């Protein structure tokens, strides 16, 4: 039985190699053989046209963190590393890379990556490059409420792990993926350009192509998606992956509808400096939204502070000293009292529910380290929830923010995107193993089904949190405090929350 499967795999891999040769070699040379009997001018025109045809197995539109993670994942798997892939993105970082240095001023844009994402980066060979740059693992987290009614502490050792996550600048994550792909022998072509239009089921007329060319047996372009780029080039691909972010052009051109809403909240982000190193991730819920202080290493932390758009603009423009003062108030003495450390006794309320006590349940409330200086520009991002009703149709599939954008309150957005990239590359590999065309909708729907389930669950939880903390109302404040206490003292629940937030796909329920 195993021998049969092995034979099938080998046959499909060699078939793939033949197919890819066809894609990669000069299509024009073969196409020109079909023009016997034509005038030399006609022949030349067709030859020129064919020379410009670029065909790929996969066109990844958007070479951001998620698009590049897909490329790296494909490059790392035996069944997909032979694919011929185009990466389309006008971002100059893809073309002319600036070498990063650990001593560079810290960037305002960072991501908290989960242990599941760290494993993915290790598997594809990209984590080694992160380790050469600034990054900060953290093993503790504290979440509390401005009312002073409750707090929760998490510790990686509660679930027998070393870390809860790692904070990495987005440019470092991106650069590590670029290094990884550049040092592989993966057949990739970067197009420093933007997608302008796309024909998914081209017919000769809609593509504006010469019908004789389409009829030629070697050019079966009619079965491919056609992408037109802002530099005037046209490329063809069996599968188009939309990794082009929240305003995805691929999503729009493929006609995928979305569901979602704006939060009427903006996030102010920046990097700040302390006089001591911060080693914990902190999040305090304030009346207008949460403020997070995330460790970045070298006495730096990143701030992600959610508030209404008017306040956000004021905080972006106010002088630096006032901003630092406001930040310290938001993280410490402003808005309400500290929760009492002696709330441990209140944990007894839950003693009938909890099993063995987690390590962090015995930790008292702590005040975050004081911010002494602003260390980057301040940036403002409007926040919204958006979800594509479909992730896949024939020849096209969405990953990352193109498929879903979420509130940053739990730092899950790009982690969800990395999960998509991994799942899609696996589904493509499985398809290749059994000889399915990689643009085939049944295969792509398998990816959609797997990721939609996970992403919708995460989105519902994040949206629920956002809504629960958007209202300042006495009884609700008490309920939130009870939830925080429950999360702190009920050990099975606490372990499940940590596991789920770490990227282990279990629901945060009792187990």
Ligand X SMILES: Cc1cc2nc3c(=O)[nH]c(=O)nc-3n(C[C@H](O)[C@H](O)[C@H](O)COP(=O)(O)OP(=O)(O)OC[C@H]3O[C@@H](n4cnc5c(N)ncnc54)[C@H](O)[C@@H]3O)c2cc1C
Which residues make up the interface to ligand X (CB under 6 A)? Answer: 61-67, 88-91, 111-112, 194-195, 243-245, 249, 267, 269, 304, 381, 400-401, 408, 411-415, 417
State in angstroms the smallest separation of the CB of 294 from ligand X: 7
Residues 442, 446, 449, 454, Cα dihedral to 10°: -160
State in angstroms the smallest separation of the CB of 168 from ligand X: 9
Burial class (CB in 10 A: 0-12, 13-18, 19+), 135: buried
State in angstroms the smallest separation of the CB of 417 from ligand X: 4
State in angstroms the smallest separation of the CB of 165 from ligand X: 9
Beta bridge partners of 302: 271, 294
Q: What's the Rg (C-alpha) of the chain?
A: 26
The separation between CA 232 and the C-alpha centre of its own chain, rounded to angstroms, equals 29
Please check whether residue 357 is in contact with residue 333, taking contact to mean a CB–CB distance below 8 angstroms.
no
d(CA 55, CA 228): 12
The residue (of 88 and 371) whose beta carbon lies closer to ligand X is 88
State in angstroms the smallest separation of the CB of 416 from ligand X: 7
Beta bridge partners of 393: 396
d(CA 113, CA 12): 36
The residue (of 417 and 486) whose beta carbon lies closer to ligand X is 417
The residue (of 216 and 455) whose beta carbon lies closer to ligand X is 455
The residue (of 146 and 418) whose beta carbon lies closer to ligand X is 418
The residue (of 413 and 486) whose beta carbon lies closer to ligand X is 413
The residue (of 368 and 417) whose beta carbon lies closer to ligand X is 417
d(CA 69, CA 241): 12
State in angstroms the smallest separation of the CB of 53 from ligand X: 20
The residue (of 269 and 493) whose beta carbon lies closer to ligand X is 269
Please check whether residue 89 is in contact with residue 27, taking contact to mean a CB–CB distance below 8 angstroms.
no
State in angstroms the smallest separation of the CB of 242 from ligand X: 9
- Residue 425's closest CA among 81, 125, 74, 123? 74
Beta bridge partners of 242: 61, 398
d(CA 161, CA 118): 13
State in angstroms the smallest separation of the CB of 205 from ligand X: 25
| Pure H helices in 255-328 | 309-317, 320-328
The residue (of 156 and 410) whose beta carbon lies closer to ligand X is 410
State in angstroms the smallest separation of the CB of 481 from ligand X: 25
The residue (of 391 and 489) whose beta carbon lies closer to ligand X is 391
| Pure H helices in 441-506 | 441-468, 474-489, 491-501
Token pair 């403002």: residue? 380
d(CA 12, CA 430): 11
State in angstroms the smallest separation of the CB of 31 from ligand X: 27
Residues 470, 458, 110, 371, Cα dihedral to 10°: 40
State in angstroms the smallest separation of the CB of 392 from ligand X: 16
d(CA 154, CA 500): 13
d(CA 300, CA 371): 9
C-alpha neighbours within 13 Å on the C-beta side of residue 357:
11
Q: Using DSSP, state whether 207 is helix, strand or coil.
A: coil
Please check whether residue 240 is in contact with residue 200, taking contact to mean a CB–CB distance below 8 angstroms.
yes
Please check whether residue 335 is in contact with residue 286, taking contact to mean a CB–CB distance below 8 angstroms.
yes
Beta bridge partners of 269: 304, 379
For residue 57, give both structure tokens: 């197995």
The separation between CA 156 and the C-alpha centre of its own chain, rounded to angstroms, equals 23
The residue (of 45 and 123) whose beta carbon lies closer to ligand X is 123
The residue (of 339 and 417) whose beta carbon lies closer to ligand X is 417
> Parallel, antiparallel, or unpaired for β 187-191 and 84-88?
parallel
The separation between CA 496 and the C-alpha centre of its own chain, rounded to angstroms, equals 22
The residue (of 90 and 309) whose beta carbon lies closer to ligand X is 90
State in angstroms the smallest separation of the CB of 169 from ligand X: 11
State in angstroms the smallest separation of the CB of 128 from ligand X: 21
The residue (of 346 and 379) whose beta carbon lies closer to ligand X is 379
């Amino acid at each position: 039985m195993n021998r049969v499967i092995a034979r099938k795999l080998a046959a499909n891999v060699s078939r793939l190699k033949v197919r890819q040769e066809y894609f990669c070699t000069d299509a024009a040379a073969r196409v020109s053989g079909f023009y016997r009997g034509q005038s030399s001018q006609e022949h030349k025109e067709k030859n020129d046209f064919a020379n410009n045809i670029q065909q790929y197995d996969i066109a990844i539109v958007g070479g951001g963190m998620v698009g590049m993670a897909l490329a790296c994942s494909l490059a790392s798997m035996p069944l997909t590393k032979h694919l011929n892939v185009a990466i389309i993105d006008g971002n100059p970082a893809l073309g002319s890379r600036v070498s990063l240095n650990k001593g560079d001023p810290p960037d305002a844009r960072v991501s908290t990556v989960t242990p599941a994402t760290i494993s993915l980066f290790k598997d594809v060979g990209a984590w080694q490059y992160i380790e050469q740059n600034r990054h900060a693992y953290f093993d503790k987290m504290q979440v509390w409420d401005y009312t002073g009614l409750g707090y929760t502490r998490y510790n990686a050792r509660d679930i027998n792990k070393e870390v809860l996550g790692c904070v990495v600048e987005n440019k470092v994550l991106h650069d590590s993926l670029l290094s990884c792909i550049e040092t592989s022998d993966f057949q990739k072509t970067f197009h420093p350009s933007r997608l302008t239009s796309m024909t998914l089921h081209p017919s000769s007329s809609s593509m504006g192509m010469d019908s004789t060319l389409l009829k030629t047996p070697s050019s079966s372009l009619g079965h491919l998606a056609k992408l037109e780029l802002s530099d005037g080039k046209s490329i063809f691909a069996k599968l188009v992956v939309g990794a082009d972010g929240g305003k995805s052009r691929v999503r729009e051109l493929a006609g995928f509808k979305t569901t979602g809403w704006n939060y009427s909240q903006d996030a102010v982000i920046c990097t700040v400096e302390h006089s001591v190193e911060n080693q914990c991730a902190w999040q305090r819920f304030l009346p207008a939204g949460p403020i997070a202080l995330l460790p970045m290493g070298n006495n730096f932390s990143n701030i992600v502070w959610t508030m209404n758009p008017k306040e956000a603009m004021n905080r972006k423009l106010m002088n630096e000293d006032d901003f630092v003062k406001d930040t310290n108030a938001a993280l410490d003495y402003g808005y309400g009292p500290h929760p009492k450390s002696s709330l441990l006794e209140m944990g007894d309320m839950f003693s009938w529910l909890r099993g063995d006590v987690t390590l962090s349940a015995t930790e008292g409330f702590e005040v975050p380290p004081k911010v002494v200086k602003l260390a980057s520009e301040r940036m403002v991002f409007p926040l919204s929830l958006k979800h594509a009703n479909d992730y896949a149709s024939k020849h096209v599939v969405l990953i990352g923010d193109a498929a879903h954008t979420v509130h940053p309150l739990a730092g899950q957005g790009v982690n969800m995107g990395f999960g998509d990239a991994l799942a899609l590359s696996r589904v493509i590999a499985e398809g290749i193993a059994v000889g399915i065309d990689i643009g085939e909708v049944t295969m792509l729907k398998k990816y959609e089904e797997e990721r939609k389930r996970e992403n919708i669950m995460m989105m519902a939880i994040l949206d629920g949190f956002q809504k629960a903390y958007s209202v300042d109302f006495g009884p609700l404040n008490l309920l939130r405090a009870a939830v925080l206490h429950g999360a702190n003292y009920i050990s099975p629940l606490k372990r499940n929350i940590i596991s789920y937030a770490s990227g282990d796909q279990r629901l945060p329920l009792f187990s």
